[in-house]
Amino acid sequence: MISFSKKYIYKKKVEIMGFNTLVNIPKTKEILQEYPNDVNMSEIDDFLATIGELKEKNIDDAVKAIFEGKLIVCSSTGKYVVVDPIPQELNRSIEPPSNENVLQGSQSSFIEDIDTNIGLIRKEKASEKLCVKSYSLGKRQNKKMALLYLDDKVNKDTLAEIQNQIEKNLKKELHNQQDMSTIMGFSPWLTMAKFRTSELPSEVVNKLFQGRVVLFIDRLPNAFILLGLLWDMFTVENDYNYPYPLMILIRALRVVGLLATLLVPGLYVALVAVNPGVLRIEMALSIAQSRQGVPYPALVEVLLMLIILELILEASVRLPKSIGPTITMVGGIILGQAIVDAKLVSNLLIIILAATTIANFTIVGVQNSLSIRLYKYLIVIFASIYGVFGLLAGIFFIIAYLASLRTFGVSYLNFNVERDVLKGE
């Protein structure tokens, strides 16, 4: 609801307009009262000119300012000024990250307010080279976006492409990550994100010093880091808090986790259904015994269990935090044991898929782990048709697809992007 109130300044009437829900109007009035009233000003417009830029009456600009949370002070002559008021407290406090756990390092995370997020970046790493460029996108709902970069690190050509892409889409609506992908010129059908999301200021600062460009969108508690690369799946800034050998070991485990997620379900199908002769006779007999009485072929068995695991993971996200872990754990144990006792799947498959699910969450980034979970279905289908050769063919197609991805001229598989591309060396 817009608040209209009349006030006398220098014995001349003015109108104050703004949203009660966005502006603390009483406190803002008190600030206006503190301006000296003993100055000799013949007109009220002279006073308004001292507190802001005096503008002619323009309804569209005034309405836009009100919707942005500003306060309008208007005189009887039709002129007005836009005042930055004392805002209502609508933001939550800075809290520890909920999606990216940090063992050693800063525990602050971004919130929904874009100005607070930019402040966190400045506080994390003060640098006179940090540049911030602000945009307002959308026709019906103006959404603020901020572009951050380090002037001495970023590649100027890449930066110019990003800025041009944003500026030519200023009229498009921006509500979510899909809208942002459209504005940046990315296809909405891409399974791999061309930007990396993070809620950690320390991670964002590290990427800025690598020459990346960072986008903030108001009311979204994440930073969007351009460019997104394959190596981002395995590295986080927090790794540098460990000794060098431990850092290498942790990153190697993430690579192993990605390979296990992609290959192990397909390898099971290939060795059980198509190429059992590859196994040692003892191993082949052991697997055959574990599948004794299972009525389905290996492909149906694997897909059935993968879909059940996907349902459990999705339910764990949607359930209340107080009961979610308990229900999913108990449900998974009971369901898994019941399926094995009913001879619908083998014991070995339960072990394989449990290990695969755990390995999937070693990958950095929620969206990256979702993409890898999608790709493993492709490999399972290829393996069920062509066996081990299908497994290799699936890996080949995935690598070829990733190699075809380019973001503002930079390949998704570029591992030397900081040295060769972003700095322009």
Per residue in 196-233, pLDDT tens?
Answer: 899 999 899 989 988 899 999 988 899 999 888 888 88
Record the tokens describing residue 225, joined without a space: 């880091």
In this predicted model, what pLDDT tens digit does every residue of 256-296 receive, in sequence order? 999 999 999 999 999 888 888 887 888 888 888 878 888 88
- Please write the tens of the pLDDT for every residue from 123-134: 887 778 889 999
How many Å apart are CA 386 and CA 366, to the nearest integer?
Answer: 31
- Comparing 306-320, 334-348, 388-402, which segment has the lowest mean pLDDT? 334-348
Q: Does residue 261 share a domain with residue 207? A: no
Residue 131, SS3? Answer: strand
Question: Does 296 fall in a domain?
Answer: yes
pLDDT at residue 219 in the model: 86
Segment 159-199, tens digit of pLDDT: 999 999 999 998 888 888 888 888 998 888 888 888 889 99
Judge if 324 and 247 occupy the same domain: yes
Q: Is the pLDDT of residue 1 over 70?
A: no
Residues 66 and 129 in one domain: no
Residue at which a domain ends, from 173, 193, 227: 227
Confidence of residue 17 (pLDDT cuts 50, 70, 90): confident
Q: How far apart are CA 263 and CA 109, in angstroms?
A: 34
pLDDT at 9 over 80: no
pLDDT of 153 higher than 90: no
Q: How many domains does the chain have?
A: 3
- Note whether residue 357 is domain-resident: yes
pTM of the entire predicted model? 0.80
Q: What are the residue ranges of helices labelled H in 210-270?
A: 244-269
Identify the residue whose tokens are 């059980």: 272
Per-residue model confidence (pLDDT) at position 419: 47
Does one domain contain both 205 and 254?
A: no
Mean pLDDT to the nearest integer, 20-34: 71
- In-domain check, residue 424: no
Q: Of 143, 149, 211, 210, whose CA–CA distance to 183 is shortest?
A: 143
Least confident interval from 84-98, 116-130, 293-307, 353-367? 84-98
Decide if 60 is inside a domain: yes
- Give domain status of residue 146, yes or no: yes
Q: How confident is the model over 73-82, as a mean pLDDT?
A: 74
Cα(104)–Cα(242) distance, integer angstroms: 9
Domain boundary among 199, 227, 255: 227
* Adjacent-strand bridge partners of 224: 197, 215
Specify the DSSP element, H or E, that contains 17. strand 12-19
**69 located within any domain:** yes
How confident is residue 420, by pLDDT bands cut at 50, 70 and 90?
A: very low
Provide the percentage of residues in the chain whose pLDDT is more than 70: 86
Judge whether 233 lies within some domain. no
> Tens digits of per-residue pLDDT, 135-148?
988 877 778 899 99
- Which residue range(s) make up the domain with 370? 243-407
Could you tell me if 397 and 248 lie in one domain?
A: yes
Query: For residues 128 and 126, what is the distance between their CA atoms, to the nearest angstrom?
Result: 7
Q: Are residues 181 and 248 in the same domain?
A: no
pLDDT tier at 250, thresholds 50, 70, 90: very high
In tens, the pLDDT along 299-321 reads: 998 998 898 888 888 888 887 77
Strands 130-137 and 143-150: antiparallel
373 and 313 share one domain: yes
| 3-state helix/strand/coil string of 281-293 | HHHHHHHHHHCCC
Radius of gyration of the chain (CA): 29
Residues 21 and 146 in one domain: no
Strand order through the sheet with 2-9? 2-9, 12-19, 71-75, 80-83
- Is the model more confident about 314 or about 381? 381
CA distance linking residue 166 with residue 185, whole number of Å: 9
Judge whether 237 lies within some domain: no
pLDDT value of position 166: 93
Q: What is the pLDDT at residue 273? A: 86
Same domain for 399 and 258: yes
Q: Among candidates 270, 238, 232, 239, which has minimal Cα distance to 371?
A: 232
